[in-house]
Chain A
Amino acid sequence: MRALQYAFDEALASLWRGRTSGLLSTATIAVALFVLGAFLVATSNLERLGAEWSRAAEMSVYIDDETTPEMRSAVEAMLAPGPLIVSFRFVTKLEALERFKQTFADLAAAAETVGDNPIPASYEVRLHTTPGSQDAVDELAARLRRSEGVVDVRYDRQWLDRLLAAVNVLQGVGLVLGAFLTVAAALTVANVVRLALYARRDEIDIMRLVGAPDAYIRGPFIMEGVLQGGMGAALALAALATVFLAIRGRYLMPLAAAVNLSSVRFLSLELCLVLLAGGMLVGCFGGLVASGGRDS
């Protein structure tokens, strides 16, 4: 405990003495963790939104105005709930027009001028989101397209799959970039700690000659790295939160109709703690490398 207190006191004093170079390594860690954190925020939110959109995945089956009740029965038979389909709902032409007017208020007047309601009736079909169901959904869509009275079939599964694949790529890029910057940050910390070590070489010589334990000789330098890492991580998280709130307010609020804003969140507390611990670990590694080697 005394060694820990000594390491902490000496590390704080050393950080204050070498505050200019200490600032450099703290900033490097902050940049590395900011980049890593930014990718984590982006990908975790895209993943969450993707999962939400997947759960609400719908197929829209548009039908001709002239469709007979028999034709509709045949289509409804194909849409019966089963392994692929959760449920379906018929949307009349009038209902579809009202929705259009609500969603695109600016175009409502234009829709009135067309005269007859140009928007077709449709079936909104909710699909199961079981993995590997893609082929079966494609086949169902093809069968529906061939049915009499059906003018078009649209479903949003494909772009969702593409989005999720892009999220995976983004995650990979983030991890590689983050790892690269983290190594650079660790090396910067190691060099800054080495400078502190060089500045205090007389003290260290005396400590070695009086038989001071390693915890007292290396402890302050490792602690210095840990403190730099912790401060860098805290700085990164603060900057990340500021940028996140700014982007959310400025660019996402206008998209509230399409994006469920309550699902767009900052990093979880656990991830924040992991980033903080990660920063400290990087600093600790830098301190260990710099103060490494026994010289008896």
Chain B
Amino acid sequence: MDSALSALRAILKALIETSKLSKLYSRGVHALRDLSLTIDKGEFLFLTGPSGAGKSTLLRLLLREELPSEGELKVAGRSLADLSYSQVQAYRRSVGFVFQDFRLIPRFTVFQNVSFVMRVLGVQAAVQQRKTFQVLKWVGLQHRMNSLPEELSGGEQQRIAIARALVNDPQLVLADEPTGNLDPDLSLEIMNLFREINASGTTVVVATHDRELIRRVGRRAITLDHGQIVEIV
């Protein structure tokens, strides 16, 4: 009875579950191999490992940009492979993402870059403005809202990218090497933002090869190598 209850508790607690997940590319490269892991709701998890370990592949699978070759990937109890096109769109609205290269739209101002997400989801203009201002204030860049991305430093650009990921109140935030282009001090500043996001209950998965940063933040870290888990800290 106790074991059944704890199993149920585990299921309710888990946000992401992978079971023997594999991703094989057409040239025979195994990016992921039999990966089984669970990420709980509200968890802050690092994915680390050398280049080509499979970190970015796992994030792409979690964004449902790609489909697994074998195994299963479930988010909130639903297999991502079984989602229809419109369900994929709905799922992505619950996920925020941050990239190493920021991917801000150069011709848009800071404000437009952040509100763009809500604009293309058909959110009312008044709500767009209110939430954009709130999230810019939260990342401390409300005073730069009329600037263009090229006028900002790397750290500021990444904070805008984080604001864009958060503006739609996602249940899950994925970040692929978000500090890859930043110096150590700025990297810690960005990680502190992720910690704050996580403190509000949002699940955060960050892929990074920066072990020092992981040590300083001090959260669970899964090390991948050749598509397999080699260490859990």
> A3 within 8 Å of B by Cβ?
yes
> A213 within 8 Å of B by Cβ?
yes
Instruction: Tell me the minimal C-beta distance from B133 to chain A in angstroms.
Output: 19
Complex Cα spacing A157 to B119, Å: 68
Instruction: Tell me the minimal C-beta distance from B137 to chain A in angstroms.
Output: 21
Given A210-B93, A211-B90, A2 contacting B122 (CB threshold 8 A): yes
A interface footprint on B102-132 (CB within 8 Å = 1, 0 otherwise): 0101000000000011011110000000000
Checking A202, A203, A211 against B92 with a beta-carbon cut-off of 8 angstroms, the contacting residue is A211
Contact in complex: A6, B88 (CB < 8 Å): no
Q: Chain A interface residue count: which class?
A: 10 to 19
Query: In this complex, what residue of B is CB-closest to A295?
Result: B65
Given A212-B120, A296-B64, A206 contacting B103 (CB threshold 8 A): yes
Contact in complex: B122, A209 (CB < 8 Å): no
> A207 within 8 Å of B by Cβ?
yes
Interface residues in B126-178 by Cβ distance below 8 A to A read: 168
Interface residues in B77-91 by Cβ distance below 8 A to A read: 85, 88-91
- B105: chain A residues at CB < 8 Å are 202-203, 206
> A216 within 8 Å of B by Cβ?
yes
Q: Chain B interface residue count: which class?
A: 20 to 34
Interface residues in B202-229 by Cβ distance below 8 A to A read: none
Instruction: Tell me the minimal C-beta distance from B61 to chain A in angstroms.
Output: 13
Checking B85, B90, B97, B119 against A209 with a beta-carbon cut-off of 8 angstroms, the contacting residue is B97
Complex Cα spacing A213 to B90, Å: 9
Instruction: Tell me the minimal C-beta distance from A209 to chain B in angstroms.
Output: 6
Given A202-B103, A205-B103, A206-B105, A211 contacting B88 (CB threshold 8 A): yes
Contact in complex: A211, B93 (CB < 8 Å): yes
> A294 within 8 Å of B by Cβ?
yes
Given A205-B103, A210-B168, A296-B64, A6 contacting B119 (CB threshold 8 A): yes
Query: In this complex, what residue of B is CB-closest to A213?
Result: B89
Contact in complex: B88, A296 (CB < 8 Å): yes
> B63 within 8 Å of A by Cβ?
yes
Contact in complex: B103, A296 (CB < 8 Å): no
- A294: chain B residues at CB < 8 Å are 85
Contact in complex: B122, A210 (CB < 8 Å): no
Instruction: Tell me the minimal C-beta distance from B75 to chain A in angstroms.
Output: 13
Given A202-B103, A213-B89, A207 contacting B120 (CB threshold 8 A): yes
Residues on A lying within 8 angstroms of B by beta carbon are: 2-3, 6, 202-203, 205-213, 216-217, 294, 296
| 5 nearest A-B pairs in the assembled complex, by CB-CB distance | A211-B92, A212-B120, A211-B93, A211-B89, A216-B120
A-B contact pairs, 13 of them (CB 8 A): A202-B105, A206-B116, A206-B117, A209-B92, A210-B93, A210-B120, A210-B168, A211-B88, A211-B93, A212-B89, A213-B89, A216-B122, A296-B89
